[in-house]
């Protein structure tokens, strides 16, 4: 199982994009998790940038978004997860 790439509203989208591209190259699949509007925005920007990085290698990706519940300090929060896979 591949580790989940966690994104916050303060994450640098280019750094996250590099992580996404690296994981997809190595494992053929990545999962990105974001909680909150700012974090989801950064995650989408990162996935868009990663698409460009992977396109240079001839890898076209698709995103599959879904909601999941996560426990943070005893509180249940709703997160958005993006599965990133080659098309």
pLDDT of residue 2: 73
Residues 16-32: tens digit of each pLDDT: 999 999 999 999 999 99
Within a 10 A sphere around the Cβ of 17, how many other Cβ atoms? Answer: 22
pLDDT of residue 1: 65
CA 34, CA 48: separation in Å to the nearest integer? 15
E-strand stretches of the chain = 4-7, 30-34, 61-72, 75-86
pTM of the prediction?
0.93
Within a 10 A sphere around the Cβ of 42, how many other Cβ atoms? Answer: 22
- What does CATH list as the number for 4-86? 3.30.110.20
Look at residue 63 and tell me whether its pLDDT is greater than 90.
yes
Question: How far is Cα of residue 23 from the mean position of the Cα atoms in its chain?
Answer: 10
């Amino acid at each position: 199982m591949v580790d989940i790439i966690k994104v916050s509203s303060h994450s640098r989208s280019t750094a996250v994009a590099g992580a996404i591209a690296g994981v997809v190259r190595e494992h053929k699949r990545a999962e990105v998790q974001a909680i909150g509007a700012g974090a989801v925005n950064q995650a989408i920007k990162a996935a868009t940038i990663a698409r460009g990085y992977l396109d240079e290698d001839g890898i076209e990706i698709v995103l599959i978004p879904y909601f999941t519940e996560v426990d943070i300090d005893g509180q249940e929060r709703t997160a958005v997860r993006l599965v990133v896979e080659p098309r």
